[in-house]
Every structure is written in structure tokens, then in C-alpha cells.
Structure 1
Amino acid sequence: MTPTLALETWIAVAVVLVSVSALLLVLIVVAPWRSVRQEPPLDRAVESRILLGEDPAAIAEGEKEEQEAREREAEESDAPGPAA
């Protein structure tokens, strides 16, 4: 194998590796784009708490409790009152 041929082979291998790496990087960025855009946005308060470093599990538990409290209030307000 001549030095020129070896150099050309090395360059070809490098170009293929760079091309495959670039393609994989594009796929990693673009592939989940649709599913991420279809997700509902986070509540501003929850987003702020996460960005400030609070534990996401604690935030989820607090949100769950608040949702249950709102549901109980809605059920109580929908229930008929005592007959007068």
C-alpha cells in the first residue's frame, strides 16, 4: 500500500465517521421534536419551582393534593344543599 493511498483511505474513513456523527446528532435533536411540541405546557408556577431547583417529586405530590382539593370543592359546590 502506498503512502498516498493510505492517506486517502484515512481521509475517507474520517469523512464517513464525521458524516455519520453529524447525521446521528441531527436525528437526536429532530426526532423527538414533534412529540415534545405536542405535550401540554407546564404551569408557570410549576416551571418556576423546577427551575429554582425544587424536587420534581415533591412538586408533583403538591400538585396532586391541590387537584384533589379542587375536585372535592367542585363536588361539594355541585351537591344540593339541605332542604329548607
Structure 2
Amino acid sequence: MAKTVDPQLISGLREESERTKDDPYPAGTEGKRPNRSQVYSVRLSADEQARVQSVAEAKHLPASTLVRSWILERLDQESA
């Protein structure tokens, strides 16, 4: 599922990034990642990984989003 990005958009974003890279952050801005603070690494066999990827593609989701949703659903079940 390849997507094409407008070359003019890319060029404009690159130019803006270069022009503003040394600008200070706005007052009151904090530099932290929203929502996620811990990364878990999970080992899967090639077959298991392929199965996850297949389900993710069928749902038009990144595999990591699918796996995260499964974990969160299970945590909800466990706390019920």
C-alpha cells in the first residue's frame, strides 16, 4: 500500500524545517512524548509475525497499532 507524497510539499516542509530549526520553542512548551513512556520488545517466530502482519494489513493498520490494541483489550478484560 504505497502512498505518493507531493514533491512540492516535501520541498516546502524541508525548507521550513531548515529555516526554523534554531528558533526557540514557544513559551510554556514542554519537550516530552505524549501518551507513551515504555516500550516492550516481544519475540515472535517468523510465522507468528507473518500472521500478525496479515491481520494488520486486512484491518489497514500498522502491526504495532494492532498489537497494542490487543494488549489494551486484554488488560481491560483482566481488570473487569
**Global fold match (TM > 0.5):** no
Q: Which has the larger share of helix?
A: 1
Larger radius of gyration: 1
TM-score (norm 1): 0.25
TM-score (norm 2): 0.26
